[in-house]
Amino acid sequence: MSISSTQAIPATSATPEHVAIIMDGNGRWASQRFMPRTAGHAKGVQSVRRAVETCGRMGVKYLTLFAFSSENWRRPAEEVTLLMRLFVQALEREVNRLKEQGVRLHVVGDLSAFEPRLQGLIQEAQAQTEYNDKLHLTIAANYGGRWDVLQATRKMLKANPAFALDPSLIDESALSDQLCMSWAPEPDLFIRTGGEQRISNFLIWQLAYTELYFTPCYWPDFDESELVKAFDWYAQRERRFGRTSAQVHAKK
């Protein structure tokens, strides 16, 4: 695991190294136009493409997108089916573009719930981009922060049976090393489009010291200028990680 914000003070810069986005508001974007919710999801794919390109250009190293939560199965079956179809299509159509752009694709979440064809496409797309490292694009699909902490706990105990006998042996990194994005730094900037101000079970462990940005803009309308606005806002934050402002200034 890279530097933990609670164990050490991470180096930060004006441009976020890791951006995590809850892409929300597709349904409302479509409803406003008297279109089916699914039209909003289809349009949202274009915003994904745009966000990847812009982040690549701005020097972001990790972009993590929440595409489907562990609670989204509660939606009407037709909507879930359409979302899965869009995911399949995007994997089939976009991998070449990702390869050209130097993007490495990761998909995280409980993938065992997906149909075998989708699981196969995910494996293939990850393998095809595994030598890229300009930008790590992570799609969180059937992902839940609580699921992640639970699966990490199980893995940790399996790897270290002694922990069950003496839990005082457990430290923060023993657990965080097993989280499904243990290879990435914690997000610097979190963005949620669509106006809601909640985490909705996204990266609950990793967001401990992330700057949280909320915008009413619906995801299908989230373009380069909206992303730049979020980055400008981020650049103005003073990230103290528990210290005083004077201490932060003394460090500069």
Per CB under 6 A, which region of 63-71, 129-137, 161-169, 235-243 contacts ligand IPE? 63-71
Question: Which of the listed partners (ligand IPE, Mg ion, none) does 182 bind, with a CB threshold of 5 to 8 Å by partner kind?
Answer: none
| Binding residues among 68-87 for Mg ion as defined by CB under 5 A | none
96 in catalytic set:
no
- Residue 31 makes CB contacts below 8 A (sequence gap 6+) with 37, 40
142, with CB counted inside 10 A (0-12, 13-18, 19+), is buried
Among 1, 39, 60, 67, binds ligand IPE (CB under 6 A): 67
Q: Is 142 annotated as a binding residue?
A: no
According to DSSP H, which parts of the chain are helical? 26-32, 37-58, 77-100, 116-128, 145-159, 162-165, 172-176, 224-235, 245-251
132 in catalytic set:
no
Asked if 179 touches ligand IPE (CB under 6 A), the answer is no
**Residue 41: CB atoms within 10 Å:** 23
Distance, in Å, from the CA atom of 63 to the CA atom of 90, rounded to the nearest integer, reads: 17
Asked if 83 touches ligand IPE (CB under 6 A), the answer is yes
Asked if 144 touches ligand IPE (CB under 6 A), the answer is no
Asked if 78 touches ligand IPE (CB under 6 A), the answer is no
Distance, in Å, from the CA atom of 83 to the CA atom of 218, rounded to the nearest integer, reads: 17
Which residues are at the interface with ligand IPE (CB under 6 A)? 22-28, 66-69, 72, 83, 194, 196, 198, 200
Q: Which residues are annotated as a binding site?
A: 24-29, 37, 41, 69-71, 73, 75, 192, 198-200, 211
Residues belonging to the active site: 24, 72
